[in-house]
Amino acid sequence: MAIYEIYASNNPELTRFVRDKNSIIALIFPAIWLAWNRLWFGLAIYLTIAFFFFAISTTSWAVIAGAFSFIPRLYLFLEGSNLLASKHQVSGLNFKGVIEADSFESAELKWFSKPENCEVAEVAQVQVPLAHVPAQKSVPEKAYFGLFAEE
């Protein structure tokens, strides 16, 4: 059984499931894995590091550069699912829970079979009459320089 982390907002259509596992594709083809998952900042960092190790490999330090070029791949292999989870949190989705399921489809069925996970939250719209809103001055009456106004 696999463990899935659920990231969702008020709209059930935006719910994302992230499987908590190591990604062998990220180990073998890290640039393709980063682009496929739309981790553009991570892709830029990876390409910068890869270019740096390529530049070092043209010197007499080629063996050391080849050995150290494996470190970013190992990081993506081990922390790939956490990078995806961070991406979803930055995009505005909130961590909702964890589900243990055999497959992605069964995780979706388990999550959406609970009625509280399927409801769309209603947002109350409050209208304030314009007559009750006090007028605000956007320009100060007297211009001043510094932290404190001189009177």
The domain segmentation of the chain, as residue ranges, is 2-132
What is the rounded CA–CA span in Å between residue 138 and residue 106?
Answer: 56
Q: Name the pTM for this structure.
A: 0.69
What is the rounded CA–CA span in Å between residue 87 and residue 94?
Answer: 11
- Interval 92-120 mean pLDDT: 83
Question: What is the pLDDT, as a whole number, of residue 12?
Answer: 81
Whether residue 28 has pLDDT greater than 50: yes
Confidence of residue 9 (pLDDT cuts 50, 70, 90): confident
- Interval 84-101 mean pLDDT: 90
Helix, strand, coil shares, percent, the chain, to 5: 50, 15, 35
- Interval 12-35 mean pLDDT: 92
CB 53 within 8 A of CB 68: yes
Question: What is the pLDDT, as a whole number, of residue 138?
Answer: 59
Question: What is the pLDDT, as a whole number, of residue 112?
Answer: 87
3-class SS of residue 50: helix
Q: Which of 31-40, 72-81, 124-133 has the lowest mean pLDDT?
A: 124-133
Whether residue 119 has pLDDT greater than 80: no
**In sequence order, which residues have a C-beta less than 8 Å from that of residue 94 and are 6 or more positions away?**
7, 8, 9
- For residues 55-89, one letter each, b for 16 or more C-beta atoms within 10 angstroms of the residue's C-beta and e for the rest, the string is ebeeeeeeeebeeebeebbebbbeebbebbbebbe
Alpha helices in 60-131 (DSSP H): 62-68, 70-90, 104-112
Question: What is the pLDDT, as a whole number, of residue 1?
Answer: 85
